[in-house]
Structure 1
Amino acid sequence: MGNIQTLADVLAMVRRRILPMLAVVLLGSVITLLAVLRMPHVYETAAVLQVELPRVAADTATGDVVSRSSQRLQLLEQELTSRDSLAAMIQKHGLFTDTPGLTPTEKVAALRMSIRIETVRAGQNTFGVEQPVSAMLIVVQLGDRQKAADVANDLAARVLDLTAQRQSERVRETLEFYEAEEGRLGLAIAALEAEITAFKNANVDALPEGMQGRREELGRLDATLRDLDLQLLALGQELTALTSRGTPRIIEQRQIAVLEAQIAGLQTQRQAAATRRAEVEAAINRAPMVETQLGTFARRLQQVQDQYSVITRRRAEAETTQRLDSERQTERFDLLEAALPPDYPLASGRRRIMVFGVFASAMLALGLAFVMELRNPVLRSARQMERTLELRPVIALPTLSTPQSRRTGRLRRIAAAGMLALAGAAAALAVKGGSLIQMRSGAPRA
């Protein structure tokens, strides 16, 4: 620090360098004042939308309703702040026309930062329970008060249009989906029933409900075959007895012809009974396979019928929701407060910036004075000489004033007083302007 080591040295340095220091402070104050006066005003306004939950709830699970409502609000916020939506808003209201250097992407980013969407929950937020949204605030900050109000109201109107349109579209699409599903499942049930009928017709003799009759028929056929075998055996023995006597007589020939005719008839009956028995036995053997296939058909039919019942119930619920929507009984938004052009801009912190600017100018002036002293290290007092050379001077001659030095001193004091007055006026002007803005905007602090 050279010869500046004590407070007295600092004060002496300030007295010697008062003019350049005040010049630096005045210049810094004026630059800060110009910068503060050029700061743009920011106007903030808000539109308030009230969110009304369904008066007649179609769903019984309130938590699901609240969750879906919050999700719809998030999707709505994302659509409002999307690139295309904001670009259309900029084009419609002519925003950022005073800054032609901004690219379309930068304008969209600036408008997105100027829009803030807040939600107000109903009641206290208990642990683990999501409270429904009762209100939505669309806050807009722009440099033009009228454009800020227009943008906020336009966003609120877009919210009302989007919610009404999406609600109607969602209800209509849901109803159309369930109607289409009901028709598809109805056709599937009819096709499956036709397939079951065709399968039963193709396997009518092997159906489970006729197995008892088939088994009884098989028993009767077995008895018939035994009787026919006995009759054939008896007739065969009688025919053998007639043919074993040698040359038969005419009466015996007639008896042999009758016996042969009876045997042929019985053999035909036995063949028919044996064929029928084979058919019945094959049907009985096929019965487990038919029963399994019918069980598969029954499970498929039950599954499709269950789906049909669910779809029918959902379609009825969708029709109820559509009626509620047509009567405005579902969740909807109402414009509670429209955005108005604000009377005063937001507090921009001018006073704080002015104070920081004056303080920074004073620190710069003090640093400049130190630099000037270091570039000209002169021993100006007996204390500095004794501290630097460790020699006590015998005598110290004071500086003799001349008329010219007295005039120079008066001019320096006048110039210093003038610069100090100008710096104080600039600071007072900035502080007064900041206080007025703070008082009008109602902010507790600038």
Structure 2
Amino acid sequence: MNSDVKYFVALFVRRLPVFLIVFLGFAAAALSAAMLLPTVYSSGAKLLIESAQIPGNLATSTVQVAASEQLQIIQQRILTRAILIDVARAHDVYEHMDDMSPDEIVARMRNDTNIRGTSGRNAATIMNIQFQARSAAISANVVNDYVTRILDQNVRLRTGQAQDTLEFFKQEVDRLGAELDRRSAAILDFQNANADALPTGLPFRMSRQSTLQAQVDQFLRDKAALIEQRNRLIEIFETTGQLNTTTTANQSPEERQLVSLKDQLAAALAIYSEENPRVKVLQARIAQLEETVRAQSGVGAAANGTTMLDVQLAQIDARVDAIDAQIEQAEGELAVLQDAIGRTPANDIALQALQREHNNIQEQYNSAVQRLSAAATGERIELLSKGQRITVIEQAVAPTEPTSPNRPMIAIGGTAAGLAAGLGLVFLIELLNKSVRRPADIAKGLNITPLATIPFNRTGGELVRRRVIVLVILAVFLAGVPAALYAIHTYYLPLDLIMSRAVARLSL
């Protein structure tokens, strides 16, 4: 057992230069990185998304965006390429920015920026913003710049949506108002063009039609009676050669009126005295009519029977012509009424269609006016910041201590990695080495037992040369690795930028 331990110790001592090269290389690189990596400061701010200041049952904002959705919108707008480049150049965030491409600046800004929100049911929505920079002032300034842009973006987003909504409903009200005026004008034009056949006047036209039809029927009966009277007069004259004027049917109107007045006078004398005014009036009218009748009788006596017949026939014909004129006038009006009544159903349907379209536009217009009022209220709410808003509850301040790098951890980790890598390399070399290094290997490999073994011993000069070479290599590693890292960091690219590029490529 002791011989095996001594054997492995001897092997390790033999491979000690290899172990030292690897171990010291890792340690030097880790220590150099720990010393050369720039100091990183992290600053943060906390924002709160508050609910609307005015109860929704009294007045509501026209901007209805959920808090989580609002966080996502703002985050995407803040992390746009233009804003990130503008912020980086405004605050000179990175050293040697002139050597960085815009894509690299955007990638590093997004990598160094951390925006996250927390929300939940019955819980407030909070946005945390953090940024890592090479100095405390830059970190705080960038976060405050982000906060200012977020507040500005939120105000512009909400007021812009409210104003767009208000402008939309203004245009909608104007459009529907113009359409409503056009529909009203169309209804008015239709009513003016069909004023004689509108549904509202149908009852009057039907009543007038019935009245005129009754008048026409009466006119026809009167005309038939006159024609019958005329034919009878002609028949009597042709049979007897004279006219019987004593009959009531052949009396003139004055004679019939005279008979009627005499009857009235007889009835009045049975009740009143001869001094009564009514009786005197009747007597005066009777005396006047008697003079008229005597005059007519004298003319009739002077004339022959034919002349009397012609007079009566002329009177009947004049009355028939008057009745014909009245019938013609009534039938003309009936024709106009019939045409209007016939056109009324079609006009009613057309007018109902126009009115229905007008009512639909009116309902849309009323709804648009109500929504316009709500949009105006919503815009006022947003302009006064009485709706959902973002407030700063914790302003970003310059940190007093850096957050990274953890230099002791980097140094210890690099040293531990070098130790593990050195031991692993030594183990791997010995594992792959199949040469004979002790008597047990001869017995195991050849299956024989040697009588004696002669070891290989180096001369003193060989040992010195070997040790010098190992020391030179170790010195090169100890001095060269830090020097190379420093040169790369100073004259080529900073180590943090190289690391960020490497991480970006590995992520791809």
1:33 paired residue number:
31
1:356 paired residue number:
417
CA distance in 2, matches of 1:66, 1:132: 19
2:452 paired residue number:
395
**Alpha-carbon deviation of 1:239?**
4.3
**Alpha-carbon deviation of 1:154?**
0.4
Query: Deviation per CA, 1:224-272, whole angstroms, max 9, x where unpaired?
Result: 1211222233333444556787899333333333333322222221122
Structure 1 residues 279 and 69: alpha-carbon distance in aligned structure 2, compared to 1, 3 A threshold: farther
Amino acid corresponding to residue 344 of structure 1 in structure 2: P
**Alpha-carbon deviation of 1:61?**
11
Query: 85, 100, 117: which is aligned to 1:102?
Result: 100
Tell me the C-alpha RMSD between the 2 structures.
3.8
Structure 1 residues 51 and 20: alpha-carbon distance in aligned structure 2, compared to 1, 3 A threshold: closer
2:326 paired residue number:
269
1:175 paired residue number:
166
Structure 1 residues 260 and 361: alpha-carbon distance in aligned structure 2, compared to 1, 3 A threshold: farther
More contact order relative to length (CA 8 Å, sep ≥ 6): 2
Query: 80, 83, 94: which is aligned to 1:82?
Result: 80
CA distance in 2, matches of 1:291, 1:389: 124
Answering whether residue 361 of structure 2 is matched by residue 300 of structure 1, we say no
Query: 371, 380, 388: which is aligned to 1:314?
Result: 371
1:145 paired residue number:
136
2:118 paired residue number:
120
**Alpha-carbon deviation of 1:383?**
1.0
CA distance in 2, matches of 1:345, 1:283: 96
Answering whether residue 193 of structure 2 is matched by residue 202 of structure 1, we say yes
1:345 paired residue number:
403
CA distance in 2, matches of 1:401, 1:88: 69
CA distance in 2, matches of 1:401, 1:85: 70
**Alpha-carbon deviation of 1:390?**
0.7
1:256 paired residue number:
313
**Alpha-carbon deviation of 1:317?**
2.3
Mean CA deviation greater in 76-85 or 31-40:
31-40
Query: 346, 354, 359: which is aligned to 1:289?
Result: 346
**Alpha-carbon deviation of 1:57?**
3.1
Answering whether residue 232 of structure 2 is matched by residue 234 of structure 1, we say no
CA distance in 2, matches of 1:105, 1:400: 62
Amino acid corresponding to residue 286 of structure 1 in structure 2: R
Amino acid corresponding to residue 207 of structure 1 in structure 2: L
Q: Tell me, what secondary structure is at the counterpart of 2:366?
A: helix
2:22 paired residue number:
24
CA contact (8 A) 1:70 1:133 kept: no
Structure 1 residues 250 and 109: alpha-carbon distance in aligned structure 2, compared to 1, 3 A threshold: farther
CA distance in 1, matches of 2:72, 2:457: 83
**Alpha-carbon deviation of 1:388?**
0.8
Q: Tell me, what secondary structure is at the counterpart of 1:334?
A: strand
Q: What are structure 1's unaligned runs of at least 5 residues?
A: 1-5, 126-130, 427-446
Q: Tell me, what secondary structure is at the counterpart of 2:116?
A: strand
Structure 1 residues 243 and 108: alpha-carbon distance in aligned structure 2, compared to 1, 3 A threshold: farther
2:52 paired residue number:
54
**Alpha-carbon deviation of 1:156?**
0.2
Amino acid corresponding to residue 364 of structure 1 in structure 2: L
CA contact (8 A) 1:59 1:65 kept: no
Structure 1 residues 105 and 25: alpha-carbon distance in aligned structure 2, compared to 1, 3 A threshold: closer
CA contact (8 A) 2:202 2:341 kept: yes
Q: Tell me, what secondary structure is at the counterpart of 1:321?
A: helix
Percentage of matched positions with identical amino acids: 24
Query: 382, 385, 405: which is aligned to 2:439?
Result: 382
CA distance in 1, matches of 2:308, 2:382: 104
What is the TM-score with the length of structure 2 in the denominator?
Answer: 0.68
Amino acid corresponding to residue 402 of structure 2 in structure 1: Y
CA distance in 1, matches of 2:428, 2:213: 130
**Alpha-carbon deviation of 1:73?**
3.0
Mean CA deviation greater in 31-40 or 50-59:
31-40
CA contact (8 A) 1:24 1:365 kept: no
CA distance in 2, matches of 1:7, 1:224: 148
Structure 1 residues 354 and 217: alpha-carbon distance in aligned structure 2, compared to 1, 3 A threshold: farther
CA distance in 2, matches of 1:360, 1:401: 29
Query: Deviation per CA, 1:414-433, whole angstroms, max 9, x where unpaired?
Result: x89xx79x99xx9xxxxxxx
**Alpha-carbon deviation of 1:117?**
1.6
Structure 1 residues 364 and 301: alpha-carbon distance in aligned structure 2, compared to 1, 3 A threshold: same
What is the TM-score with the length of structure 1 in the denominator?
Answer: 0.76
CA distance in 2, matches of 1:70, 1:284: 68
Amino acid corresponding to residue 132 of structure 2 in structure 1: Q
Larger Rg belongs to? 2
Q: Tell me, what secondary structure is at the counterpart of 1:112?
A: helix
Structure 1 residues 38 and 268: alpha-carbon distance in aligned structure 2, compared to 1, 3 A threshold: same
Amino acid corresponding to residue 143 of structure 2 in structure 1: A
2:501 paired residue number:
none
Amino acid corresponding to residue 345 of structure 1 in structure 2: T
Amino acid corresponding to residue 341 of structure 1 in structure 2: A
CA distance in 1, matches of 2:340, 2:96: 94
Structure 1 residues 303 and 169: alpha-carbon distance in aligned structure 2, compared to 1, 3 A threshold: same
Structure 1 residues 400 and 81: alpha-carbon distance in aligned structure 2, compared to 1, 3 A threshold: closer
CA contact (8 A) 1:29 1:361 kept: no
1:14 paired residue number:
12
